[in-house]
Amino acid sequence: MRSSRHHGSTRRRGAAALLFACAALSVVVGSTLGGCTDPVRDAEIEALGPEEPGVPPNPEHRPGQPCLHCHSQGGPASNKPFAIAGTVYETDQPGSNGADGIFVQFVDSAGGGPREIPQTGPSGNFYVPLQDWPDLKYPVRVGLYEDLNGPPTVIMKSLINREGSCNFCHRPNLADPTDEEIDDSRSSAGQIFLRSGS
Amino acid sequence: MRTRARRLFVVALALAFAPAAAASCSLRTESGEFGDLPDRASFVDNNVSLFMEVRCGGLDCHGQVGRPLRIYGQTGLRLKARDDGLRDNSPTTDEERTENYRSVVGLEPEALSECFESKGEKIATFQLLKKPLGIENDGIRHKGGPVLRPTQSDPGWQCLYGWVSDNVDAAECERASKITP
């Protein structure tokens, strides 16, 4: 009797352990399949807000925003991943127009660069598709050229160390910032621009 | 009863040690309980701060308020904002360099002190020196990759290693702070 009771309780414990293992496995698998995202990045993307009315997703959309938040592995636009991307404005004034037709020339620490030198569109946006610069080696230096045969209009004073979204550091200048936005400006290099003034 | 008495004894013991533990958490600076540390003047006057502002303090690296090694500077994070919220491109201030010094010595003060007092002999686990080498150069993992090489020909290494081993050369630090196209 003692022996059969013992076997019964062992079986019950075994069944319970199996149930527990299955439950744990289903939680792990479920969370892996259903929630394979970065909650910090998700929140940052959410904070960017919806598309501008009348501007569908295209190379000119969302100027001034950190492009690689979406255009990189794990992002909602991961089917069009970028190596580097950003926005160039005509001036440093808030509300300035984007600078169209500017060449953005990069040189990485191995002396390499993108297969094609990117050029800004009407919104000032430019981007380097990841397949055009798969072996990018940070840090990177960058200059803006109105004419590739002439001298650079602007050379960035510091290095790009590891962030592919230029607008992550170069946030657009604001006309009437709140106190919080003024405090946040300590960690922004300001918008990328060709010339000071209006 | 015996169990209850044991619990009471453990609680009494914890209460007895609590003030002592709290007192030992007080931190003293510079030549305090960690032993000697390199001082602020050696950090600022020998361009160590300048070197770190340029090479470590990018806004996409250590120029971020949430980083334990937090570096302020002219081309990176600013300590104070301009009133209009536009970028402040003025030179790095003394106050910012003091904050840089505090951040650097506050990372691992015991390890820094050991390194400083041993003139650079004891650096086995000192992250300030090991991290910038990356795994590639016999250091430890650095998200920014290997940014220094432990050689005579790398002015960045000479600057940082020189400073923590009480043998800093301001000219090496200045050389290391130049970015060439």
- How far separated are the first and last CA of chain B, in Å rounded? 78
Select from A138, A160, A188 the Cβ nearest to the Cβ of B145: A138
Confidence of residue A37 (pLDDT cuts 50, 70, 90): confident
Q: State the DSSP H helix or E strand holding residue A169, giving kind and residue range, or none if neither.
A: helix A166-169
Q: Is the peptide bond before A118 cis (omega within 30 degrees of 0)?
A: no
Structure tokens at A80: 């069009």
Asked if B85's CB is within 8 angstroms of A173's CB, the reply is yes
Reported as type and span, the H/E element at residue A193 is: strand A192-195
Centre a 10 Å sphere on the Cβ of residue A94 and count the other Cβ atoms it contains: 16
What's the sign of the alpha-carbon dihedral B79, B130, A84, A150?
positive
* Closest by Cβ to B179, choosing from A159, A163, A174: A159
B30-62 confidence digits (pLDDT tens): 555 678 899 999 999 999 999 999 999 999 999
**Separation between Cα atoms, residue A91 and residue A191, nearest integer Å:** 9
**pLDDT tens per residue across span B59-72:** 999 999 999 999 99
The arithmetic mean of pLDDT across residues B110-119, rounded, is 92
Burial B114-153 (b: 16+ CB within 10 A, else e): bbbbeebeebeebbbbbbbbbeebebeebebbebbbbeee
Q: Taking the C-alpha atoms of B68, A172, A103 and A118 in order, what is their torsion angle to the nearest 10 degrees?
A: 70
CB proximity B143 to A under 8 Å: yes
Would you tell me how many other CB atoms lie within 10 Å of the CB of residue A30?
A: 10
What distance in Å separates residue B167's CA from the closest CA in chain A?
28
Q: Do A187 and B77 touch (CB under 8 A)?
A: yes
Confidence of residue B16 (pLDDT cuts 50, 70, 90): very low
Q: Is B181 at the interface with chain A, CB within 8 A?
A: yes
pLDDT band at A38 (very low <50, low <70, confident <90, very high): confident
In the structure, what pLDDT confidence band is assigned to residue B179 with cuts at 50, 70 and 90?
confident
Least confident of A25-34, A149-158, B111-120: A25-34
CA of A80 to nearest chain B CA: how many angstroms apart?
Answer: 23
Residue-range domain boundaries for chain B: 23-177
From the list B76, B86, B144, the residue facing A190 with the nearest CB is B86
Which residue in A has a C-alpha nearest to residue B61's C-alpha?
A: A161
Model confidence at B9: pLDDT above 60: no
Which residue of A92, A136, A158 is the best one to mutate when testing the B interface, meaning the one whose CB has the most B CBs within 10 A?
A158
The model carries a pTM of 0.80
Give the mean pLDDT of B8-23.
46
CA dihedral sign, ordered B98, B100, B79, B67: negative
Best CA proximity match to A63, nearest among A120, A147, A144: A120
Question: Is it the case that residue B169 has pLDDT exceeding 50?
Answer: yes
Q: Which chain B residues touch A155 with a CB distance below 8 Å?
A: 181
Q: What average pLDDT score do residues A91-115 get?
A: 97
| Chain A touched by B81 (CB under 8 Å) | yes
Residue with tokens 């400083």: B116
CB of B91 within 8 Å of a chain A CB? The answer is: no
Mutate to test the interface with A, among B87, B93, B131 (most CBs of A within 10 A): B87
Question: Nearest Cβ partner of B64 from A157, A187, A190?
Answer: A187
Nearest by CB to residue A163, choosing from B60, B86, B145, is: B60
Average pLDDT over all residues of chain A? 88
A158 → closest Cβ in B58, B82, B86: B58
B163 vs B157: CA distance, rounded Å = 10
Q: Mean of the per-residue pLDDT values for chain B?
A: 86
Is the CB of A110 inside 8 Å of chain B's CB atoms? no
- Neighbour tally for A75: CB within 10 Å: 20
DSSP state of A172: P
Residue A95 contacts B, CB cutoff 8 Å: no
Residue A26 confidence (pLDDT): 47
pLDDT interval class at A48 (50, 70, 90)? very high
Average pLDDT score over residue span A117-122: 98
Answer whether A183 sits within 8 Å of B59, measured CB to CB.
no
Strands A103-108 and A154-155: unpaired
Q: Residue by residue, what is the 3-state secondary structure of chain B? A: CHHHHHHHHHHHHHHHHHHHHHHHCCCCCCCCCCCCCCCHHHHHHCCHHHHHHHHCCCCCCCCCCCCCCCCECCCCECCCCCCCCCCCCCCCCHHHHHHHHHHHHHHCHHHHHHHHHCCCCCCCCCHHHHHHHCHHHCCCCCCCCCCCCCCCCCHHHHHHHHHHCCCCCHHHHHHHCCCCC
* DSSP reduced 3-state for A86: strand
The tens digit of pLDDT for each residue in A145-185 reads 999 999 999 999 999 999 999 999 999 999 999 999 999 99
Q: In what order do the strands lie in the sheet with A154-155?
A: A103-108, A140-145, A154-155
Sheet of strand A192-195: strand arrangement:
A125-129, A82-91, A192-195
Residue A190 contacts B, CB cutoff 8 Å = yes
Chain A contact present for B52, CB below 8 A: no
